[in-house]
Structure formats: C-alpha cells, structure tokens
C-alpha cells in the first residue's frame, strides 16, 4: 500500500501477529525444499509465498481505489463427513441425595499464599459442553468496595487445573476437581472456587449447573 500510494502521510500500517495462524506457516521457495517443520507445514505448496504476495498486491490496489473485492468461492463445509471414534456421552447421574454442583471435598477455611486449594464437585461430563470462550471454573475474590465477587482466575490461567473423572459408569457418576496453586502475588482476602458445567439426562436433555466452594481466606 505504501509503495502504490502517492501520499504516504495518511497511511497507517497495522500488523497483526495472529494473521499467520490462519494459514499455518508460509515459507520461501528455498525453505520449502528442505521440508523441515515449517516447510512441511506450508499448506499450499512451494509457491505459497509468491501466490500470497500476488494476492496482497491485488488487495492493496483495491484498498487504494476503494473497490470491492470478489470474495470468490467459499471452501466446502466438510464437518458432516468427518469421522469420530469417540463415543457420545450417554447420560450423567448422581447418587441419591446428591445433585450436580454439590461439593464433595471442600476448601479449607484458610490458606497461605503459595499453598494449593483443591475442591471436588459432583459433575457432568465435560464433553456435554466444551465451554468454548467460557470456563469450567472461576477463582473469585470478594470486593468490599463493590460488594461483588471479582474473577481473578479461570481455567485459562496457569495456576489453575481442572480434572474430570467418571467414578461410576453404571449410573453415569462423575467428579470434577479444581486446583488453584495460589500465586505469590495474590492479594490477601476472601475467596471462593466455582465450577460450571452441564449434565445430560437419560432423555439426552442438557441442563447447566454451578457449584460453589465454601468461602476461605488467603493470608500472607
């Protein structure tokens, strides 16, 4: 765009580090011949880079001329033709007197920074809902100013772990265990662990549930 533009004052180039992730690796022709990891992961052959450059030049011209681009053909949706050797989740169940989200092994009343919190819940199978863009767990801290619970960690944080185990196949019983390795920079305060999931009954109907640990103190 800069090369083709007659005026460079109003051009701002933005590079996104995520862009390459959408098409895997793109190597030069010479790198492709070696067929190491990067070359073998270049999806469209040894001339991928040249083809991309040609397309980018075309897109740059369209941007400068403010012209629409023909989107071309959409790739075929082959999801319905994929094979899966994983068995479907049949159903989830609980023992008498229990319900999904109930705490089995609860948190202790107090922990020091650097120690480990471990809480187990009655749960459904995690494949009922993969919780994409969400979380199977929250670590929450009580905010005295707003009188609300603030999320300080999810299953995407290094200091948390989420384990699931089928404990009884006959009745579909499962346990989910949440572990929080309290970081050294954690603020003292009142905390709790929450677990989120979905259960599937014998009629294949999904129902969401939430489980909460007891509140506990984190001290220095």
User: With helix as H, strand as E and coil as C, how does the chain read?
Assistant: CCCCCCCCCCCCCCCCCCHHHHCECCCCHHHHHHCCHHHHCECCCCCHHHHHHHHHHHHHHHHHHCCCCCCCCCCCCCHHHCCCCCCCCCCCCCCCCCCCCCEEECCCCEEECCCEEEEEEEECCHHHCCCCCCCCEEEEEEECCCCEEEEEEECCCCCEEEEEEEEECCCCEEEEEEEEECCCCCCCEEEEEEEEEEEECCCCCEEEEEEECCCEEEEC
Mean pLDDT of the chain: 91
Place 25 in a pLDDT band, splitting at 50, 70 and 90.
Answer: confident
| Alpha-carbon distances, residue 17 vs 14, 20, 194 (angstroms) | 10, 7, 34
Flag whether the pTM goes above 0.95: no
Count CB neighbours of 117 within 10 A: 21
Checking if the pLDDT of 214 tops 90, the result is yes
Q: Cα separation of 212 and 190, whole Å? A: 14
pLDDT of residue 87: 82
Other C-beta atoms lying within 10 Å of the C-beta of residue 195: 26
Would the annotation count 191 as a binding residue? no
**pLDDT tens digits, one per residue of 113-171:** 999 999 999 999 999 999 999 999 999 999 999 999 999 999 999 999 999 999 999 99
State how far the alpha carbon of 174 is from the alpha carbons of 67, 152, 213, in Å.
57, 26, 17
Q: Residues 71-107: pLDDT tens digits?
A: 888 888 988 888 888 888 999 999 999 999 999 999 9
The answer on pLDDT for 209 being more than 90 is yes
Segment 25-50 shows an average pLDDT of: 92
Compute the chain's Rg from CA coordinates: 26
116-123 and 103-105 beta bridge pairing: antiparallel
């Amino acid at each position: 765009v800069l090369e083709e533009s007659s005026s460079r004052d109003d051009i701002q180039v933005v590079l996104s580090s995520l862009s390459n992730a959408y098409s895997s690796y793109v190597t030069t022709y010479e790198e492709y011949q070696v067929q190491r990891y990067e070359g073998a992961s270049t999806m469209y052959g040894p001339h991928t880079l040249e083809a991309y450059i040609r397309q980018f030049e075309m897109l740059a011209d369209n941007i400068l001329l403010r012209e629409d681009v023909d989107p071309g053909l959409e790739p075929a949706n082959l999801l319905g033709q994929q094979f899966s050797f994983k068995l479907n989740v049949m159903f989830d169940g609980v023992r008498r007197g229990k319900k999904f989200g109930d705490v089995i092994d609860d948190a202790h009343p107090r922990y020091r920074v650097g120690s480990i919190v471990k809480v187990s819940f009655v749960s459904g199978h995690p494949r009922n809902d993969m919780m994409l863009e969400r979380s199977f767990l929250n670590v929450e801290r009580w905010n005295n100013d707003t009188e609300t619970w603030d999320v300080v960690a999810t299953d995407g944080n290094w200091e948390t772990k989420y384990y699931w185990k089928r404990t009884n196949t006959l009745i579909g019983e499962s346990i989910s265990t949440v572990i929080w390795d309290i970081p050294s920079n954690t603020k003292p305060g009142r905390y709790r662990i929450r677990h989120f999931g979905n259960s599937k009954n014998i009629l294949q109907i999904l129902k969401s549930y939430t489980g909460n640990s007891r509140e506990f103190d984190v001290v220095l």
